[in-house]
Amino acid sequence: MSLTIYLSGEIHTDWREQIKLGINASNLDITVLTPVLNHENSDNIGNEILGDEENPFWKDHKSSKINALRTQNAIKKADIVVIKFGDKYRQWNAAFDAGLAAGLGIPTIILHQPQLIHPLKEVDAASMAVAQNPEQVVKILKYVCQN
């Protein structure tokens, strides 16, 4: 079965690369979509393209909406959304993506370390699997896609 997946969340580690490598190594028929992964570029894209905002709220607002053109389209195209939470940053956008997927009826796999179990309980409870590392995600995808 061919699938489209979207990899949401943490952008300062290489977990997406590990999943892509695993998908390629197993030759799975999976299209992988991601957000823009250049943090600085994604934060400034509104000002860069549409002109400067002095007020940081509107600067963030413009950039976030341009990013949403990509991320929300990618989530709608996905059969499964994989979301990675880490210790750094608040990652409210990752939890927002999990909720958005739930509202659209798209199943999720959540990826995080055991110490985050309690704060992520509602997000985990709405998901189809909770993994601790990218290898487990690849194994799930391999199982799900097998012929």
Q: At closest approach, how far in Å is the CB of 24 from its own copies?
A: 15
Q: At closest approach, how far in Å is the CB of 18 from its own copies?
A: 15
Closer by beta carbon to its own copies, 13 or else 119: 119
Q: At closest approach, how far in Å is the CB of 21 from its own copies?
A: 16
Q: At closest approach, how far in Å is the CB of 13 from its own copies?
A: 18
Euclidean distance between the first and the last CA atom of the chain, given in angstroms as a whole number: 7
Measured CA to CA, the distance from residue 110 to residue 102 in angstroms comes to 12
Closer by beta carbon to its own copies, 18 or else 89: 89
Q: Which residues of 8-19 are buried (b: 16+ CB within 10 A; e: fewer)?
A: bbbbeeebbeeb
Measured CA to CA, the distance from residue 144 to residue 15 in angstroms comes to 20
Cβ-contact 80, 105 below 8 angstroms = no
Closer by beta carbon to its own copies, 25 or else 117: 117
Measured CA to CA, the distance from residue 97 to residue 71 in angstroms comes to 9
